[in-house]
Amino acid sequence: MAVTLEECTRILTFLELGRSQRETARNIGVSLSTVQQVVQRYQETGSHLRRPGNGRPRCTTAREDRQLVATMLRNRFQTAVGLKTHFIRFGGGNLSAQTVRRRLAEANLKPLRPANGPKLERGHRIARQRYVREHLNWTLDDWSRVMFTDESKFMLYKHDGRQLVYRRPGERFHQACVEEKVAYGGGSVQVWAGISAEARTELVLIQNGTLNAERYVEEILNEHVGPFMARMDRHGILMHDNARPHTARIVHDYLEEVGIELMQWPARSPDLNPIEHAWDELQRCVKGRNPPPITLPELIQALVEEWEGIPQHRLRNLVYSMPNRLEAVRRARGGNTKY
CATH topology of domain 122-331: Nucleotidyltransferase; domain 5 (3.30.420)
**pLDDT value, residue 329:** 96
pLDDT for residue 233 is more than 80: no
Question: pLDDT by residue (tens digit) across 141-164?
Answer: 999 999 999 999 998 887 666 677
- pTM as predicted: 0.75
**pLDDT value, residue 211:** 92
Average pLDDT over residues 10-25: 86
pLDDT for residue 170 is more than 80: yes
Question: pLDDT by residue (tens digit) across 90-137?
Answer: 777 788 889 999 999 998 988 888 888 899 999 999 999 999 999 999
pLDDT for residue 1 is more than 60: no
Question: pLDDT by residue (tens digit) across 22-65?
Answer: 888 888 888 888 888 888 888 877 776 666 665 677 888 888 88
For the sheet containing 188-195, what is the strand order?
A: 204-206, 188-195, 146-155, 237-239, 261-262
Class of domain 1-53: mainly alpha
CB-based contact 152:188 (threshold 8 Å):
no
pLDDT for residue 234 is more than 70: no
> For residues 251 and 239, what is the distance between their CA atoms, to the nearest angstrom?
13
Q: Measuring CA to CA, which residue among 244, 260, 275 is closest to residue 148? A: 275
Average pLDDT over residues 185-209: 92
Average pLDDT over residues 233-256: 92
